[in-house]
Amino acid sequence: MQTIAKEYLLLFNTLTDAEETLRRLEARLIEAQRRAEELFLEHADSNPQSPD
């Protein structure tokens, strides 16, 4: 069985960690966008503008 050099293991693990961090960040950004849209719609519903 061939062994993997420590450098490649370090790189692989770092990339894997970064990928997971980016997934969590993406989920947080999507949630923030969803919440911002909800707040916008709530504000629009509570402050209807009169037609011109």
More confident position, 33 or 50: 33
| Average pLDDT value for residue range 21-33 | 98
pLDDT at 52: 58
The C-alpha atoms of residue 17 and residue 19 are separated, in whole angstroms, by 5
pLDDT at 41: 95
pLDDT at 51: 62
Which structure tokens are listed for 17?
A: 């960690």
Above 90 in pLDDT, residue 49? Answer: no
Angstrom distances, CA of residue 21 to CA of 5, 12, 14, 30, 45:
25, 14, 11, 14, 36
The C-alpha atoms of residue 45 and residue 39 are separated, in whole angstroms, by 10
State the virtual CA torsion across 10, 13, 16, 21 in degrees, nearest 10. Answer: -90
